[in-house]
Structure 1
Amino acid sequence: MKQATWLLAGLAFTGAVHGAELTPVQKQMREIYQELVETNTTNSIGSCTVAANKMAKRLKDAGFKDADLHLIVPPGGPKKGNLVARIKGDGSKKPLLLLAHIDVVEANREDWLRDPFKLVEEDGMFYARGSSDDKAMAASFVANMIRYKKEKLAPKRDVVMALTCDEEMVPTKFDGVEYLFNHHRALIDAEITLNEGGGGLLDKEGKPVRHGIQAGEKVYQSFQLEVTNPGGHSSAPYRDNAIYHLADGLSRLGKFAFPFKLSDVTRAFYEKMSTIEKGQVAADMKAILNNPPDEAALERLYTLSPSHNSTVRTTCVATQVNAGHADNALPQRARATVNCRILPGEPIEEVQATLQRVVADDQIKITRIGEGVASPMPPLTPALMKAVEEISNDMWPGVPVIPTMSTGGTDGRFLNSAGIWTYGISGMFHGPEGSGAHGLNEHIRVKSLYDGQEYLYRLGKRLATE
């Protein structure tokens, strides 16, 4: 479609959001979104299988055949169902995968201002658990697959949608992407994957500042630190105390910082952001690009937001402590969990060795909790970036697309590790206050939801047909 046509379509689309009347596309999107949000998919009492079946019914009603729909429920996890749907292309290119998880973190009604499992539209916002993370993308993909089917899209590559479960559970034996990759790889094998993790930022006035494309994420790896001791009666204490050993080691870790490192993606992030930010922040972003980086600038950025420190370093932080067995007994065991988020390319064994060196106590035994998935950063190819940037500029003229690396983690790690390049890109913008994902009163702006659906529709169609 020519640029002028894209612009007209975008204006017609976004204009309807400001008025009381929704377009037919938006009405359908809202119905799907509400049904998905109001289907509880928490680990405690919810069911991804129920939600996946509801989405499968919508696709089947839209003309998808049984052969193109696959409900995959892992053994031992009857509520952990995953849905894979496919629109077949001519086979001249490897598939495009549209990936979103449908499970959500827990939410207690008494803590929320509104029922977290009822979609509430209020003052230009949608409120609910999963309203942003990640049912906004999941509903968009379902609605867009229906649009593609209705339009009789004839792509050059298969368009595959995967709605998966247990992305939010750590650790878990039912992660949907991991299970599908290990047992049904042919269903989700692809050249390119669109996933959560990207999105846009609005300023305080609601004006778009930047649109992010996530290319890579840190490696999630936890460690157990443990000290054991014969113990004894608390009335006659020894100096050799398991709790003191552990506490001293954790204190040394708390004062330690891993080395500063920039990748191509994080360097590009700060280069572009230094042209967007103003004053001292912009100057500091430029200063950390020097070799060596300006330490004072680094400290000011860290004070501004801990995410800056996490972007340029591996981080390891104590998150849980358990010690002792009785008030009147010396501790026989003291344990701590240290959660690390490791920069791509840094070996896990090297991080473990660094921890052992930093705690500097042979009595502190360090072991891994699970096995982190190390994955490379996907390439920002010219063809992909051209599509991402041109569609973004059509919808938000002049707003720069900024490459980012996630300091958290997504299911993209399983795919990137196998060379199925996965990018976080949503077209959904949040204000400086964030979305409340994983926290109280999670929300997304109504306009951002519909704009994001439109952006993903255009991007998916372009990547599938070009």
Structure 2
Amino acid sequence: MSVYAAAGALALLSSAGASAQDGKPRADQLAFRDLYKELVETDTSVATGSCTLAAEKMATRLKEAGFTDAQLLPFSVKEFPLDGGLVAILPGSDSKAKPMLLLGHLDVVNARREDWQRDPYRFIEENGYFYGRGTADMKAMVATWVDTMARFKTEGFKPRRTIKMALTCGEESGARFNGAQWLAQNKPDLIAAEFALNEGGGGRTDGKNKLVSQSMQVGEKSNRSFELQTTNPGGHSSIPIKDNAIYELSDALVKLRAYAFPVRFNDTTRAYFAKEGASRGGEMGRAMVALSKNPNDKAAEAIVSTDRGFNSMLRTTCVATMLDAGHAVNALPQRAKATVNCRIIPGEDADTTRAALAKVIGDPKVSVTLVGRLRPVAVPPPLDSRIMAPAEKLVARYFPGIALIPTMSTGATDATYLAPIGIPTYGVPGGWGDPDGNGAHGLNERREVRSVYVGRDFLYDLVKAYASQP
């Protein structure tokens, strides 16, 4: 365990009740804070920002640490010059050892100053949190990857396996350009690796400064959207009829709201509910364990489904997100449309989900059409002991009494683009978030200061452990 790990462990207000960090941040933490601040204050939103600029700044940091031009490989396409990224390579000492990849997206969700309490593109430390767009999703991890690579270089660490880092753009707004997808399709040899580490894992607090879990993301849902549409000849609103496109669409959406897809476990989610339930205890914990043993236990399912996060892990979910109907205030609607976003459990796909929606709606007048960008269907990586064991060991050291639990993300990441080229991708533990999501994709995004600093030290040790594997 490094000296940073020891300091990090003391910095955490853990489930065992350890005291918070005393005194000022260490000198190395302040240097890291400056890097993190630079990233957050570099606007990388699709509306007003530039990932290319952020990638250039990170390349400058790595060059100052000793990386050569040959080890720093910026990339972009002429059609989207602001959506560039960076691949950095730290060569390993064993040519037979397969490389590892650190993956991170530079782009962030758009943020409007008038909606926020603080300027979203200023880095503000307040009340034990860092505020700013991207502080949680995912510039803390990107800063950690860059910082880890720089520390390895300046410290003279010689990894056994080559460490690659890919900083990309478009994870949040990939309808325009996605850097991970572009690398996978155009430069697969450049990022080829035995495995990749990514966002999606991490810890969770109870919302009251107590860490309750640490997770490794092992798989995720697929993201697909469907358009429900009804049409009608319409007419004058002064002579209404019951055959109304808006009413027909509304009836379909009411049926969708009432429908729950069946419970479907995989190796990751079954292990998650069994271990998390045993650790949690109480009525919810007992129900989680029971459901992991018998997915047909309706009483257990009813209890577990009251938690929106657990419910989403259990099954495919589909929810109406957008509406568009009518053409004039004094006319009967000729058309009504709704966008329904589905997060699809591994083992199901767009075809099975569309068929389920059509069956639930049960009205041939309502068309159900697949729309939007199509990521590859998510393929869960294996529960590999060579991945889990080093992380479990470090979790035990940093967070005594907290178990590492495999989990499936209910969102979607760029891991979906790596699986087709043979790179299983895992969302790593380390830092933690609050149950409310810390404003990621929403207003006043934030990350707890201790989470950032301890997570940085944890991931430094974790990457070093993987890089040293025989």
TM-score (normalised: structure 2): 0.93
Q: Which residue of 1 aligns with 2:300?
A: 297
Residue of 14, 22, 26 corresponding to 1:23: 26
1:242 to 237, 242, 245: 245
Distance of 2:4 and 2:330 partners within structure 1: 73
Aligned residue identity for 1:40: D
Alpha-carbon distance in structure 1 between the residues aligned to 2:295 and 2:40: 48
Alignment of 1:8-19 (within 5 A): 9-13=4-8, 18-19=21-22
**Contact (CA 8 Å) 1:7, 1:394: kept in 2 or not?**
no
Look up the match of 1:447. Answer: 450
Matched with 1:310 is 312
The within-5 A match list for 1:242-281 is 242-281=245-284
Contact 2:106 2:138 in 1 (8 A): yes
Other structure's SS at 2:158 match: coil
Q: Which moved more, 1:234-243 or 1:402-411?
A: 234-243
- For residues 10 and 274 of structure 2, the distance between their equivalents in structure 1, rounded to whole angstroms, comes to 34
Q: CA deviation at 1:72?
A: 1.0
After TM superposition, the structure 1 stretch with the greater mean CA deviation from structure 2, 426-435 or 43-52, is: 426-435
Deviation of residue 31 (structure 1)?
1.2
- Cα 1:120–1:288 change in 2 (3 A) is same
Size of the aligned set, in residue pairs, is 459
Does 2:334 align with 1:332?
yes
- Once the two structures are superposed, what CA deviation does each residue of 1:358-414 show, in whole Å capped at 9, x if it has no partner? 111112122111334212210111121111111111211221001100011111111
Query: Quick one: structure 1 residues 204 and 235, their matched pair in 2 at CA, closer, same or farther if it must change by over 3 Å?
Result: closer
Distance 1:205 1:235 in 2: 57
Please tell me whether residue 188 in structure 1 is matched to residue 183 in structure 2: no
Q: Confirm whether residue 382 of structure 1 aligns to residue 377 of structure 2.
A: no
Alignment of 1:343-358 (within 5 A): 343-358=345-360
**Aligned counterpart, 2:368:** 366
Q: Point out where structure 1 has 5 or more consecutive residues left out of the alignment.
A: 1-5
CA 1:174/1:292 → structure 2, altered by over 3 Å: closer, same or farther? closer
Task: Pick one of 210, 214, 224 that aligns with 1:211.
Answer: 214
Q: Distance in 2 between matches of 1:357 and 1:372?
A: 25
Distance 1:246 1:441 in 2: 35
Please, which of 92, 100, 106 is the counterpart of residue 102 of structure 1? 106
Equivalent residues in 2 for 1:11-160, closer than 5 Å:
11-13=6-8, 18-89=21-92, 90-160=94-164
Greater shift in the superposed pair: 13-22 or 59-68: 13-22
1:35 shift after superposition: 0.5
Q: Distance in 1 between matches of 2:338 and 2:375?
A: 18
- Partner Cα separation in structure 2 for residue 352 and residue 282 of structure 1: 33
| 2:176 aligned with 1:173 | yes
| Conservation of the 8 A alpha-carbon contact between 2:214 and 2:429 | no
Please state whether the residue corresponding to 1:289 is helix, strand or coil: helix
SS of 1:282's partner is: helix
What is the CA-CA distance between 1:15 and the residue it aligns to?
5.1
In structure 2, the CA distance between the partners of 1:176 and 1:220, relative to structure 1 (3 Å rule), is same
Distance 1:360 1:205 in 2: 46
Amino acid at match of 2:327: H
**DSSP 3-state at the match of 1:132:** coil
Q: How far does the alpha carbon of each residue in 1:317-361 deviate from its partner, in whole angstroms, 9 at most, with x for none?
A: 111111110112221111111111100111321111111121111
CA-CA distance at 1:13 after TM superposition: 4.8
Query: Take 1:408 and 1:344, find their aligned partners in 2: how far apart are those partners?
Result: 12
Structure 2 CA distance for partners of 1:322 and 1:12, relative to 1, 3 Å: closer
- Quick one: distance in 2 between partners of 1:272 and 1:12? 28
RMSD of aligned C-alpha atoms? 1.8
For residue 407 of structure 1, the aligned residue among 401, 407, 410 is 410
In the TM superposition, residue 463 of structure 1 has moved relative to its aligned partner by 0.8
2:437 alignment partner in structure 1? 434
SS in 2 for 1:79: strand
Shift of 1:247: 1.6
Question: What is the CA-CA distance between 1:424 and the residue it aligns to?
Answer: 0.5
- Aligned-partner residue type, residue 139 of structure 2: K
Shift of 1:19: 3.6
Are the counterparts in 1 of residues 226 and 341 from structure 2 also a CA contact under 8 Å? yes
Partner of 1:220: 223
Q: For 1:459, which of 434, 457, 462 is the aligned residue? A: 462
* C-alpha distance in 2 between matches for 1:216 and 1:261: 14
- 1: CA distance between counterparts of 2:322 and 2:295? 35
- Structure 2 distance, partners of 1:447, 1:439, is 22
- Please give the per-residue CA displacement for 1:145-176, whole angstroms capped at 9, x wherever unaligned: 0011112222222111111112112x513011
CA distance in 2, matches of 1:20, 1:9: 15
Residue 273 of structure 1 deviates from its aligned partner by 1.0
Tell me the equivalent position of 2:17.
none
Counterparts of 2:243 and 2:139, CA distance in 1: 52
Provide Cα deviations, 1:88-135, integer angstroms capped at 9, x if missing partner: 113212211111111111222232222221111122211111111100
- 1:136 is displaced (CA, Å) by 0.2
Separation in 2 of the partners of 1:364 and 1:386? 50
**Alpha-carbon shift at residue 245 of structure 1 (Å):** 2.0
CA distance in 1, matches of 2:188, 2:6: 40
Determine the C-alpha separation between the residues in 2 that align with 1:254 and 1:204.
Answer: 29
The equivalent of 1:3 in structure 2 is none
Letter of the 1:384 partner, please give it. Answer: I
Q: What is the CA–CA distance in structure 2 between the aligned matches of 1:292 and 1:425, rounded to whole Å?
A: 27
**Structure 2: runs of 5 or more not aligned:** 12-19
Separation in 1, partners of 2:37, 2:2:
28
Deviation at 1:263?
Answer: 0.9
Q: Distance in 2 between matches of 1:428 and 1:399?
A: 13
**Is the 8 Å Cα contact of residues 188 and 421 (structure 2) preserved in structure 1?**
no
